[in-house]
Chains A and B, each alone.
Chain A
Amino acid sequence: MNDDLRTIGSSGKPGRGNRSTSPSAAARSLAGSGTPRRPPKKRQIPEPQESPRLRAVTDEDAAAAAAAAEEAAQASRAQRAATGADEQEEPGLDDLLDALLGGASRLLGDDWEDRFLRIAGGLRHRLSGDYAVDEFGYDPEVVALLEHVIEPLAETWFRLQVRGIENIPAEGGALLVGNHSGTIPLDGLITGYAVRRYAHRALRPLAADLVFALPFVSQMARKLGATLACAEDAERLLQSGELAGVWPEGFKGVGKPYSERYKLQRFGRGGFVSAAMRAQVPIIPVSLVGAEESYPLIGNVPSLARLLGLPYLPITPFFPWLGPLGMVPLPSKWIIEFGEPIRTDAYPAEAADDPMLLFNVTDQVRETIQQTLYSLLVERGNPFV
């Protein structure tokens, strides 16, 4: 394994193994040690009483049962009075408290009291509305929370490799331009995660207007920092020194069939280049491999999609056949490469109004991404290993 192929974040960790000759610590513990585990003790099943299973319930039976229940209740009351509340067999308040404290310290570590207070405090200030969002609706606290959900998906499930992270400027605006694929725009989410995790900056995605017309999706998208992919919003973000992300292929990219995987579609109308030129920020080409295999699109129902007002209605090998289970992405291997920045500040400001120049730069970005995709595909080999 050469150096630049190593996954960022896993290198240098003890017990990770190298996936070829020596197994990781997790794999070793799975394989088991010398002492075999004892089978779990079986619960004792009370012997069934010898009475006929089925028979009509008569009034006498009911009366007898009521009398028996009354007797049992009296007996238990008497016993409780005799022994006192502390010695009863059911778990008492102390046991419950002990279990709760034990669970808390196991869940949150030894300093669980501090952490619990912090969580409760965080919850309280969320519930009292005492937090701020920016004018786009970006809520950093929600993003920080979501990172915990995406991290296992990206690192364990997709075994994400991030390359060229040094091409993202530490400060100042930049426009990240990526290829779009994978039926569900999961690639945007993972790219945002990679930028946040490894470049320690927030990525502000520019999304299609459909996103803001859909319930829940629009609410979440705004909180994650997304905004509408229009010239006004893009320039506002870039001029205020934010990292904006754009996927110019749009729905043509995410909704293309599996047979056309990694073939870039038309790159919009080049609006992203003019936005970057007006704001005088660099364009960073982002090539992402792996999303195509996680949801292979093998069919589409255009008539139903039109009825629902969606750009396409996907059919994958598992969706909709397995229902919600079919929405679990396949564990393909993902690689993100952030390419060398294409500078736009060398052009004069009026260059943004020169369509020929815009087309040329658009083509340059598109070609860069396409070539990088091909070389990444060759390097990756089998998509699922």
Chain B
Amino acid sequence: MSRVVLVTGVADGAVARTARLIADRGVEVGIEKVVGVDTTLPTHELGKVKFIRADVRTPVIGKVLAVEDVDTVVHLGVAPASSRFKSTKELNVIGTMQVLAACQRSETLRKFVLGSSTAVYGTSPRDPAVWTESGTARGGTRSGYPKDVVEVEGYVRGFARRRPDVIVTTLRMAQILSPRSTAPLAAYFRGPVLPGVLGFDPRLQFLHLADAMEVVRLAAAHDRPGTFNIAGDGVMLLSQCARILGRPVAPLPPVALGAAFARFARVMGTEISPDLHRLLTYGRVVDTTALRHIFGYEPRHTTRETFESFAAALRPGLLHLGVPR
């Protein structure tokens, strides 16, 4: 049986590399063709992946599904807002709705993989220390990217209910840090001074891009129904991250949260969204037992290794001690 995989959001570098990985290693499991879709032209080399320029916010995606006989959709088009695009919300939520609407009509579809984020758990002081997949957000999902992710996952659950014959895999990924990433947290760590929240030292978890790509590939190639948290082992405090980078943390009082914080961050050359600000206040840690035991994947890079390889690619900061690695 020849299989066709459709990947959304391939204009992003990491997604393009994931699509190529699925195409290159797809022969083993009978994946014949990988189709990449996005609204803008991809910036990275796509290799064997066939690129179709299509707006996921319009019903044209349904035609792509029908013409290419797609049996697996890997929806990676849900991303946090970056300053380049103002229409992130449209792309995230309306795009997902259109993709799901097309999927529901498709007769050839067998599998749907959603690239979600641990942002779905929100961030608040009432959070449990470690989130399992069954937890529901207790705060911090009222706006921005976390709200998008919660809505997107809700639509995917609705789709799974209406099409019980389709295998649905939801992959909740922690913060991906890679040297070329433009994600908000990576941009934050590139700043010369890290604005922090006075009196808070959040616990953070990172995910290596190689692990994220491999998990998506496994989910596309094999049948892994369910929802899984994906993160590197271990936990790091923001203060530890700053010390490894050798960048000073500038603590700002938590009272006048939004305005002053955002302004200072912009002066320092980074953009801090309200949800990143909450993450830098309370932190978030997820449990990856289900990934190991049910999904069957052991992350190869710990949180610390991920961060150190990210830090090694940056210029050392002002206070760098020259730690032997």
Binding site for B on A (CB under 8 A): 124, 127-137, 209-210, 212-219, 222-223, 227-228, 230, 232-233, 236
In the complex, how many angstroms separate the beta carbon of B289 from the nearest chain A beta carbon? 11
The residues of A that contact B198 with a CB separation of less than 8 Å are 215
A124 touches B199 (CB 8 A): no
B125 touches A133 (CB 8 A): no
The residues of A that contact B22 with a CB separation of less than 8 Å are none
- 25 A-B Cβ contacts within 8 A? A127-B321, A128-B243, A129-B242, A129-B244, A134-B235, A135-B130, A137-B203, A137-B283, A209-B125, A212-B126, A213-B125, A215-B200, A215-B254, A218-B125, A218-B199, A218-B282, A222-B203, A228-B125, A230-B126, A232-B128, A232-B130, A232-B135, A233-B128, A233-B130, A236-B130
B201 touches A131 (CB 8 A): no
Question: Which chain B residues in 100-140 approach chain A with CB under 8 Å?
Answer: 125-130, 132, 135
The residues of A that contact B132 with a CB separation of less than 8 Å are 232
Question: Which chain B residues in 177-198 approach chain A with CB under 8 Å?
Answer: 197-198
A136 touches B129 (CB 8 A): yes
Considering the chains assembled together, what is the distance between the CA atoms of A209 and B282 in angstroms?
12
A135 touches B323 (CB 8 A): no
Question: Which chain B residues in 282-300 approach chain A with CB under 8 Å?
Answer: 282-283, 285
Across chains A and B, which 8 residue pairs bring their CB atoms closest together, nearest first? A215-B199, A129-B243, A213-B125, A216-B199, A212-B125, A232-B128, A129-B240, A128-B323
Considering the chains assembled together, what is the distance between the CA atoms of A184 and B322 in angstroms?
42
A133 touches B203 (CB 8 A): yes
A127 touches B243 (CB 8 A): yes
B79 interface residue (CB < 8 Å to A): no
A131 touches B127 (CB 8 A): no
A209 touches B129 (CB 8 A): no
Whether A219 touches B201, Cβ cut-off 8 Å, given contacts A124-B321, A129-B241, A137-B235, is yes
Considering the chains assembled together, what is the distance between the CA atoms of A233 and B126 in angstroms?
11
Whether A133 touches B235, Cβ cut-off 8 Å, given contacts A209-B126, A230-B128, A233-B128, is yes
B234 interface residue (CB < 8 Å to A): yes
The residues of A that contact B197 with a CB separation of less than 8 Å are 215
- What would 6 more interface pairs be, CB under 8 Å, given A127-B321, A218-B282, A228-B129? A124-B321, A128-B244, A129-B240, A133-B235, A230-B128, A232-B135
Interface size on B, residues (CB 8 A): 31
Considering the chains assembled together, what is the distance between the CA atoms of A201 and B200 in angstroms?
27
Considering the chains assembled together, what is the distance between the CA atoms of A236 and B135 in angstroms?
14
The residues of B that contact A218 with a CB separation of less than 8 Å are 125, 199-200, 282
B216-248 Cβ-contact flags toward A at 8 Å (1 or 0)? 000000000000000000111101111110000
The residues of A that contact B321 with a CB separation of less than 8 Å are 124, 127-128
A130 touches B323 (CB 8 A): yes
In the complex, how many angstroms separate the beta carbon of B206 from the nearest chain A beta carbon? 14
Binding site for A on B (CB under 8 A): 125-130, 132, 135, 197-201, 203, 234-237, 239-244, 254, 282-283, 285, 304, 321, 323
Considering the chains assembled together, what is the distance between the CA atoms of A232 and B131 in angstroms?
8
B199 touches A219 (CB 8 A): yes
A135 touches B126 (CB 8 A): no
Identify which of A137, A216, A227 gathers the most chain B CB atoms within 10 Å of its CB.
A137
B235 touches A135 (CB 8 A): yes
Residue of A nearest to B307 (CB): A129
Considering the chains assembled together, what is the distance between the CA atoms of A128 and B239 in angstroms?
10
Identify which of A135, A137, A236 gathers the most chain B CB atoms within 10 Å of its CB.
A135
The residues of A that contact B127 with a CB separation of less than 8 Å are 228
Q: Which of B135, B203, B244, B282 contacts A135 (CB 8 A)?
A: B203
The residues of A that contact B200 with a CB separation of less than 8 Å are 215, 218-219
The residues of B that contact A136 with a CB separation of less than 8 Å are 129-130
Considering the chains assembled together, what is the distance between the CA atoms of A135 and B286 in angstroms?
9
Considering the chains assembled together, what is the distance between the CA atoms of A133 and B132 in angstroms?
20
Whether A212 touches B282, Cβ cut-off 8 Å, given contacts A218-B199, A222-B203, A236-B130, is yes
Residue of B nearest to A218 (CB): B200
Residue of A nearest to B130 (CB): A135
Whether A132 touches B234, Cβ cut-off 8 Å, given contacts A212-B282, A218-B199, A219-B199, is yes
In the complex, how many angstroms separate the beta carbon of A336 from the nearest chain B beta carbon? 26
Considering the chains assembled together, what is the distance between the CA atoms of A132 and B127 in angstroms?
22
In the complex, how many angstroms separate the beta carbon of A23 from the nearest chain B beta carbon? 46
Whether A135 touches B243, Cβ cut-off 8 Å, given contacts A130-B323, A219-B200, A232-B135, is no
The residues of B that contact A233 with a CB separation of less than 8 Å are 128-130
In the complex, how many angstroms separate the beta carbon of B162 from the nearest chain A beta carbon? 31
Considering the chains assembled together, what is the distance between the CA atoms of A228 and B138 in angstroms?
13
The residues of B that contact A135 with a CB separation of less than 8 Å are 129-130, 203, 234-235, 285
Residue of B nearest to A126 (CB): B243
The residues of B that contact A209 with a CB separation of less than 8 Å are 125-126
Residue of B nearest to A226 (CB): B129
Considering the chains assembled together, what is the distance between the CA atoms of A233 and B125 in angstroms?
13
In the complex, how many angstroms separate the beta carbon of B216 from the nearest chain A beta carbon? 24
Q: Which of B126, B241, B243 contacts A228 (CB 8 A)?
A: B126
In the complex, how many angstroms separate the beta carbon of A236 from the nearest chain B beta carbon? 6
In the complex, how many angstroms separate the beta carbon of B240 from the nearest chain A beta carbon? 4
The residues of B that contact A223 with a CB separation of less than 8 Å are 201
Residue of B nearest to A217 (CB): B199
Residue of B nearest to A230 (CB): B128
In the complex, how many angstroms separate the beta carbon of A165 from the nearest chain B beta carbon? 28
